[in-house]
Structure 1
């Protein structure tokens, strides 16, 4: 698996938990979790933690034959309570192997 780190912010506990849960549940081929919270500072949903807004780019064999909506549901299910309790917003870019971003 390839894990890329596209942001310059240090990884906090929510960021690390997102990576951990996605790796455990979906075994991605590639995973890039980006903390977008700094660009949302002071906006609705910014809880001051610096870990409220994320982008997840994930490539996973389990996405083969799944619709875009089902892929997002799979990611949300893997993240469980994080989506209800810790993360205000998440952009999900989910693709199957061989699909172009």
Structure 2
């Protein structure tokens, strides 16, 4: 059973709906990731949305081991660039995302690492990198 569990917990990074569908097939149900993607796209209309399933890195943690490694969708990294973040602090951005994903937390999402930016922040960052 352990090899099958490891295969279902493979880290996944998707940036398009077709890849998301393939990810669902290779990473178990994919229900939480697909739901997260749909909600974030609808509510925030992001210019960039990258979701990476980091659950395999955490399957050995005590809380996840007690659940048999979780459902393979417990820990995610989300990078999102959206105009909806204009004028909002980082904490306000994170709170809005956590609120949007409250059902997913109820269904097994355990941890969410967020990188939230506006298009203007990304542009400023790119200009700074070019100037360095």
TM-score normalised by structure 2 residue count: 0.65
Q: 1:84 aligns with which of 101, 106, 129?
A: 106
- Given that 1:45 and 1:88 are in contact with CA atoms closer than 8 Å, whether structure 2 keeps it comes out as no
RMSD across aligned positions (CA): 2.0
Structure showing greater radius of gyration is 2
Distance 1:10 1:42 in 2: 22
Distance 1:23 1:58 in 2: 10
Equivalent pairs counted in the alignment come to 96
Runs of at least 4 residues of structure 1 off by over 4 A?
Answer: none
Which has more strand, going by share of residues? 1
Name structure 1 gaps, 5 residues minimum: none
Task: Report the equivalent of 1:71.
Answer: 93
Name structure 2 gaps, 5 residues minimum: 1-13, 17-21, 25-29, 126-132
